[in-house]
């Protein structure tokens, strides 16, 4: 309101909130007085089944949801914690510059013919990719980020205990 950003004090994911704060503060002078909801979860919120159009901004979406897409929090600050970047990759615009430089050194003909995934464990559906990676590392290298990886141990064991 009036060039200022207000939000609920409590925050479920502090690094995500910090990234969204950064993003909103960088555009606040270009948008009118507005009230909106930003979804900090890894899944959309406004299911089309209930037929209610609500101004909920999310960084993930499927065709079954009305959520409005916006740039993920990791594009502005933080991002997934990887072994090379234990506190996250930081601002995407700055990280992108590094990627461009590295892409000049690592041309396509120097790269491995291998699938690659590192991300959060938002649901058990991704466990199958992790298990494929463990069983066939020549096909895909897949890992969970540190903050979520512990959840897969029980689920993977339950789902695949008969296959071990």
Separation between Cα atoms, residue 121 and residue 136, nearest integer Å: 20
Separation between Cα atoms, residue 28 and residue 21, nearest integer Å: 10
Q: Which of 2, 42, 113, 127 is catalytic?
A: 42
8 Å CB contact between 56 and 65: no
Cβ-count burial 124-146 (b if 16+ within 10 Å, e if not):
eebbebbbebeeeeeebebebbe
Virtual torsion, Cα 151, 154, 159, 164, nearest 10 deg:
120
* Residue 103, SS3 per DSSP: helix
Q: Which of 42-46, 82-86, 152-156 has the lowest mean pLDDT?
A: 152-156
Which helix (H) or strand (E) element contains residue 97?
helix 92-105
Separation between Cα atoms, residue 54 and residue 64, nearest integer Å: 14
Asked whether the predicted pLDDT for residue 74 surpasses 70, the reply is no
Separation between Cα atoms, residue 84 and residue 93, nearest integer Å: 18
What is the pLDDT, as a whole number, of residue 8? 81
Res. 113 pLDDT band, cuts 50 70 90: confident
What is the pLDDT, as a whole number, of residue 21? 83
Higher pLDDT, 118 or 47: 47
Burial class (CB in 10 A: 0-12, 13-18, 19+), 28: middle
Mean pLDDT on 109-127: 79
* Closest C-alpha to 48, from 64, 60, 32, 62: 64
Domains of the chain: which residue ranges? 14-75, 92-160
Asked whether the predicted pLDDT for residue 56 surpasses 80, the reply is yes
Quick check: is 42 catalytic? yes
Asked whether the predicted pLDDT for residue 164 surpasses 90, the reply is no
What is the pLDDT, as a whole number, of residue 18? 78
Range among 40-49, 68-77, 117-126, 154-163 with highest mean pLDDT value? 40-49
What is the pLDDT, as a whole number, of residue 134? 92
pTM: 0.54
């Amino acid at each position: 309101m009036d060039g200022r950003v207000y939000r609920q004090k409590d925050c479920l994911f502090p690094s995500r909130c910090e990234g969204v704060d950064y993003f909103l503060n960088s555009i606040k002078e270009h948008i009118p007085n507005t009230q909106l909801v930003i979804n900090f979860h890894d899944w959309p919120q406004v299911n089309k089944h209930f037929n209610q159009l609500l101004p909920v901004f999310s960084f993930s979406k499927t065709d079954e949801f009305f959520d409005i897409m916006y740039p993920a929090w990791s594009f502005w600050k933080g991002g997934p914690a990887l072994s090379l970047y234990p506190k996250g990759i930081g601002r995407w615009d700055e990280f992108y510059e590094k990627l461009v430089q590295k892409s000049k050194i690592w041309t396509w003909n120097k790269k491995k013919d291998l699938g690659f995934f590192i991300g959060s464990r938002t649901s058990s559906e991704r466990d199958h990719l992790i298990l494929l990676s463990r069983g066939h590392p020549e096909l895909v290298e897949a890992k969970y980020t540190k903050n979520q990886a512990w959840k897969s141990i029980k689920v993977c064991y339950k789902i695949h205990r008969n296959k071990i």
